[in-house]
């Protein structure tokens, strides 16, 4: 079977990590506007989901490689 390419999952993790860290720093500094308290948890959830996507790609590729050997 064909391997899953790691480019998009890896890029998604990199981008969401940057966004999550910036939002975390914004929260720590205290520059958050009223009404935007949901942004930090949402960024954390999106970052976590992108990490799961990378883990899924690694596991599926390992299973497929094991089946071909």
Name the residue ranges covered by the structural domains of the chain. 7-68
Instruction: Annotate 42-64 with DSSP letters as a single string.
Output: HHHHHHHHHHHHHHHHHHHHHHH
Determine the pLDDT at residue 16: 98
Q: Read off the pLDDT of residues 9-67 as tens digits, 9 standing for 90 and up.
A: 999 999 999 999 999 999 999 888 899 999 999 999 999 999 999 999 999 999 999 98
Q: What is the pTM of this model?
A: 0.87
DSSP 8-state class, residue 31 = -
Higher pLDDT, 2 or 23: 23
Q: How far apart are CA 23 and CA 33, in angstroms?
A: 12
Please say whether the beta carbons of 3 and 61 come within 8 A: yes
């Amino acid at each position: 079977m064909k391997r899953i390419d790691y480019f998009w999952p890896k890029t998604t993790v990199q981008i969401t990590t940057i966004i999550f860290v910036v939002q975390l720093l914004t929260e720590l500094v205290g520059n958050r506007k009223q009404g935007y308290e949901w942004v930090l948890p949402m960024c954390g959830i999106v970052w976590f989901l992108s990490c799961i996507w990378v883990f899924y790609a690694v596991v599926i590729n390992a299973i497929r490689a094991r089946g071909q050997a």
